[in-house]
Chains A and B, each alone.
Chain A
Amino acid sequence: MKFLEAHAAIKEFSGGPPLKFLLACSAVTDTLDVFVKAHAASKGLDAQVDTLPFDTLGQFLRAEPPSDEREVFVLFPWNLVRETDWRTGLPAQSSSGESVHQAMAESLRLLSLRRSAGFVYIAAPIPPLLGTEARCSELSDQLLAAARGLGATVLSPANFSLSSYFQTGNAFASHALSDIAEAVVIAAIGQQLAPKKVLVTDFDNTLWAGVVGEDGVDNLAYSAEGAGFPFFVYQSLLRKLKNEGTLLVGVSRNDRDLALAPFDLDEMLLKESDFVTILASYHSKSAQIAQVAEMLNLNLDSFVFVDDNPVELEEVRRALPEVECMQFSADGTMLPSILMSLTQRFGKGAHTEEDAKRTDMYRLRAASIVPSEVSGADLRTFLQSLQMKLTIKERSFGDHTRCLQLINKTNQFNINGDRLAEQELQTILSAGGRLIGATLEETGGSHGEVVACLISVDGTIEAFVMSCRVFQRRLEYAFTAWLASQSDAPTQFRYGPTARNEPVRLFLEQIVGTPAGGLIRFDAKNLATSLAPDLQLFDVAAELGDT
């Protein structure tokens, strides 16, 4: 969750039970506040947070604890041992281990007196105050163990920024504010991060780089080199967690054979057998997850869902609030904290022979699962927050390379799967047909040109394709609404079912009823009216030029 998304979440929150607590931290917490409120809001709670005046944590700990106020302590190593504070510099001589341990013991004694407290510990690096690397490393480990002994949620060093701490005294890493805030909220609620049991993972751009339905199996990246490295590391973590007893579930918006194809590749680290079940369909992921939970007889609050697509994550969050949702990113600055978070959720200190066999045991139970066709959560308000901008572009003249590429490459949202040669296209255009493309931008960035539509002179939509990268956004409905509202609106689709275009069948079923192959006529005016709410999700610009 980033800054703007946090503000949007707060704005959208219509209120809920209060979550009152005191946030006790030696660092400035101003920048954290909005994320704390946002994460609380995502859990349906209205965070009401008191904070300590800056740099008064030591005094606060010595005072009588408030009898009934929930407290959340966000601690750094220097809150346990003052000499480890980077901003005070190193002592003139190496500290004696004894004085350091005495300081730590006293800090722990004071902290352990706080009965109504939750703890979050940021395992920031410490300066070399003990003379040798080994002794300093040992001290770091002891501080970490001490924090765990308090029952603290431990956050990785990536959550601390030394440069920011030096420059302005702000210890929190800017990119980690959301993660820190989330840990604070969970500590405030009083739930320890109980070990999770089921890791549900998306495939495209999560388990491998690329979209198997568009790029093809041979163009995915997943091995220990180049663009595939982050995905290789993610897969290796999942394999490790699986061997330690975590159940892996795959949920992919794809045809089943497409979703499974990459696991046959030799260099793919994970195999299909590593998963309890893989559910590939074009229906909502929340429905698939709910079905898995029921079939395996496991509570949804033991599930973590990992996906790179914020729309998919939001759909699951809304439909299944008990499921913890985590956005995957291959970005080098984000990946370590993602992997550490998963380790915290699932990691076990020790594992048994039974843990290693757990997947096989559950595979039997899951063998009979078929994908659910239940529709997912209403994402309308979330989609509005994406501030999507749809730009319709006339491609009948000039460069239409991308449009033609989309028509010839897209399989899933492709109205008939027909491939189009350049000459064939020119014939249709010369006879008075139109080629229209559309680009999509949203708060997360630009998706580029994602829609292509070829209309022949008699008003037949000969080709209509949409990139599967932008599924779930109601874009196909919005584009159709725009088309249908034009003065020269088309009047029929040329539909042809293929082995891959189930998404089109579902789309047509929604707007014109159960489609049969061939020409499907529609009333443009009625269609424009019925699909108008979808068009309103977009800020539409048309660059149609002079025709």
Chain B
Amino acid sequence: MNEVIKQKLEDIFRLVFELPSDAKVGDIQQIDFDKWDSLSHVSLMSAIENEFGLEVDIAESISLTSFESIELYLSRKVV
């Protein structure tokens, strides 16, 4: 994946989940990360849509449950 896009995604995670600027986010998964609830999920999708100029379909959004899955999604969607 483009390093710049990955860096942006990392920064988005840190900002949405209010993590320190050097926090490691690559392993974050919805299932075991307390800060990732429905409200923060919507905030995360909104930030990603805005930053990368996308519209994330709700059905796609349901499967975006980890940093890794979002990274993969962006590698397909962002040119």
Contact surface of A with B, Cβ cutoff 8 Å: 2-4, 7, 30-31, 161, 163-164, 167-168, 170, 174-175, 177-178, 331, 333-334, 387, 389, 441-446
Q: Are B50 and A177 in contact (CB under 8 A)?
A: yes
Number of A-B contacts (CB under 8 A): 56
Partner of B55, one of A2, A163, A442: A163
Residue of A nearest to B78 (CB): A445
Q: Are A31 and B8 in contact (CB under 8 A)?
A: no
Instruction: Give the size range of B's interface with the partner.
Output: 20 to 34
In the assembled complex, the Cα of A167 lies from the Cα of B46 at a distance in Å of 13
Q: Are B4 and A442 in contact (CB under 8 A)?
A: yes
**Given A161-B55, A333-B53: A443 and B42 within 8 A (CB)?**
no
Partner of B12, one of A4, A170, A445: A4
Q: Are A4 and B43 in contact (CB under 8 A)?
A: no
In the assembled complex, the Cα of A446 lies from the Cα of B79 at a distance in Å of 11
Q: Indicate whether B32 reaches chain A with its CB closer than 8 angstroms.
A: no
Q: Are B15 and A7 in contact (CB under 8 A)?
A: yes
Nearest chain B CB to A172 CB, angstrom units: 9
In the assembled complex, the Cα of A389 lies from the Cα of B4 at a distance in Å of 9
In the assembled complex, the Cα of A389 lies from the Cα of B17 at a distance in Å of 26
Q: Are A4 and B51 in contact (CB under 8 A)?
A: yes
Contact surface of B with A, Cβ cutoff 8 Å: 2-4, 7-8, 11-12, 15, 42-43, 46-47, 49-51, 53-55, 57-58
Q: Are B2 and A4 in contact (CB under 8 A)?
A: no
**Given A4-B12, A7-B15, A168-B42: A174 and B4 within 8 A (CB)?**
no
Q: Are A170 and B50 in contact (CB under 8 A)?
A: no
In the assembled complex, the Cα of A297 lies from the Cα of B25 at a distance in Å of 54
**Given A161-B55, A168-B58: A2 and B50 within 8 A (CB)?**
yes
Q: Are A441 and B50 in contact (CB under 8 A)?
A: no
Residues of A within 8 A of B55 (CB): 161, 163-164, 174
Residues of B within 8 A of A331 (CB): 53
The 12 listed contacts between A and B (C-beta, < 8 Å) are: A3-B50, A4-B8, A4-B12, A4-B15, A7-B11, A31-B43, A31-B47, A163-B55, A164-B55, A168-B42, A387-B7, A445-B4
Partner of B46, one of A31, A333, A334, A443: A31
Q: Are A446 and B58 in contact (CB under 8 A)?
A: no
In the assembled complex, the Cα of A7 lies from the Cα of B13 at a distance in Å of 12
**Given A2-B50, A174-B50, A174-B55: A441 and B8 within 8 A (CB)?**
no
Nearest chain A CB to B64 CB, angstrom units: 14
**Given A3-B12, A387-B7, A446-B2: A167 and B58 within 8 A (CB)?**
yes
